[in-house]
């Protein structure tokens, strides 16, 4: 682990923020429980070999490890030391954190039982407009599915950002097209479950199972 994508930006010290504050914020938000609830992760799931894509400094894997689950790998395009002053007494992604691009995961095919992504797809996919967004989400899903074993699955929560309600609707429409595309293939099975509300907008868990 420890690969660095070519375009990983190096930030000057003045632009970095405090990791201790980020950890505190995650704790106040109960971010670990949010992951469990919105990704519907059961104790059985947590025993599996999981890849967390767009995991930031790997808070989820770190807290999971404290709870006895030590098979969660994390990747993020940014190296934590480039984003944060490392002023917190916390490990980074349970020592299973790599700097890597979600579009080119540095793992062999069929490495994981499950790949998850929480609140990261809006950042990962970006895209100037909803159609770019659709194409990029599809690519990331294909890449996540590549590294998942047959009968494994990918799970994604907060796939569309809630920040701009109009854009959100358009992006949500494009995501539906991505899911229809996967569902048409006999290789995949798509499920979408409501998980409650985020800032007044319904939020969903998207699962794509790899059937063959
Ligand atoms: C909103 S944060 C979510 C972090 C974490 N999943 C959480 O819930 O705390 C989105 C993360 O996606 C990462 N990211 C953006 N583009 C990426 C890419 N192409 N590959 C991997 N990670 C990426 C960002 O660096 C950022 O840490």
**Which residue blocks in 90-190 are alpha helix, DSSP H?**
121-125, 130-146, 165-184
Beta bridge partners of 188: 210
Identify the pLDDT of residue 74: 98
Q: Is 101 a pocket residue for ligand 1 (Cβ < 6 Å)?
A: yes
Q: Is the pLDDT of residue 145 over 90?
A: yes
Measuring from atom 13 of ligand 1, which residue has the nearest CA?
Answer: 54
CA distances 145 to 109, 141, 189, Å, are: 9, 6, 12
Identify the pLDDT of residue 169: 86
Identify the pLDDT of residue 2: 43
86, with CB counted inside 10 A (0-12, 13-18, 19+), is middle
How do residues 183-206 score in pLDDT, each as one tens digit?
A: 999 999 999 999 988 777 788 999
**Hey, how many other C-beta atoms are within 10 angstroms of the C-beta on 14?**
5
How do residues 51-68 score in pLDDT, each as one tens digit?
A: 999 999 999 999 999 999
SS3 content of the chain, % helix, strand, coil (to 5): 40, 25, 35
Q: Is 123 a pocket residue for ligand 1 (Cβ < 6 Å)?
A: yes
Q: What whole-number distance in Å separates Cα of residue 94 and Cα of residue 70?
A: 7
- Backbone conformation region of residue 157, classed left if phi is above 0, alpha if psi is from -120 to 50, else beta: beta
Average confidence (pLDDT) over 101-116: 98
Q: Is 105 a pocket residue for ligand 1 (Cβ < 6 Å)?
A: no
Identify the pLDDT of residue 161: 81
Beta bridge partners of 208: 154, 190
Between the CA of 186 and the centroid of ligand 1 the distance, in Å, is: 30
Domains and CATH numbers, the chain: 31-210 (3.40.50.150)
Q: What whole-number distance in Å separates Cα of residue 110 and Cα of residue 141?
A: 14
Average confidence (pLDDT) over 146-175: 90
Site to probe by mutation for ligand 1, drawn from 55, 78, 120 as the one with most ligand atoms within 8 Å of Cβ, is 120
Between the CA of 182 and the centroid of ligand 1 the distance, in Å, is: 23
Q: Is 208 a pocket residue for ligand 1 (Cβ < 6 Å)?
A: no
Identify the pLDDT of residue 10: 64
Q: Is 120 a pocket residue for ligand 1 (Cβ < 6 Å)?
A: yes
Q: The whole model's pTM is what?
A: 0.94
**Hey, how many other C-beta atoms are within 10 angstroms of the C-beta on 168?**
16
The HSE-up count of residue 127 (CA atoms within 13 Å, CB side) is 24
Between the CA of 17 and the centroid of ligand 1 the distance, in Å, is: 16
141, with CB counted inside 10 A (0-12, 13-18, 19+), is buried
Site to probe by mutation for ligand 1, drawn from 36, 56, 74, 203 as the one with most ligand atoms within 8 Å of Cβ, is 56
Q: Is the pLDDT of residue 21 over 50?
A: yes
Q: Is the pLDDT of residue 12 over 80?
A: no
């Amino acid at each position: 682990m420890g690969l660095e994508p070519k375009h990983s930006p190096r930030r000057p010290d003045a632009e970095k923020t405090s990791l201790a504050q980020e950890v505190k914020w995650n704790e106040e938000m109960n971010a670990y429980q949010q992951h469990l609830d919105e990704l519907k992760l059961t104790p059985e799931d947590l025993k599996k070999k999981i890849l967390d894509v767009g995991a930031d400094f790997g808070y989820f894997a770190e807290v999971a490890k404290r709870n006895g689950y030590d098979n969660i790998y994390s990747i993020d395009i940014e190296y934590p030391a480039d984003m944060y002053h490392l002023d917190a007494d916390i490990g980074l992604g349970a020592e299973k954190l790599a700097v890597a691009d979600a579009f080119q995961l540095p793992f062999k095919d069929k490495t994981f039982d499950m790949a998850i992504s929480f609140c990261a797809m809006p950042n990962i996919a970006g895209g100037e407009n909803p159609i770019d967004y659709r194409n990029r989400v599809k690519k990331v899903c294909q890449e996540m599915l590549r590294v998942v074993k047959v009968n494994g699955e990918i799970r994604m929560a907060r796939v569309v950002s809630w920040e701009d309600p109009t854009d959100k609707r358009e992006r949500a429409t494009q995501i539906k097209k991505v899911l229809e595309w996967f569902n048409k293939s006999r290789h995949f099975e798509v499920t979408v479950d409501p998980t409650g509300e985020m800032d007044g907008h319904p939020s969903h868990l998207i699962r794509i199972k790899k059937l063959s």
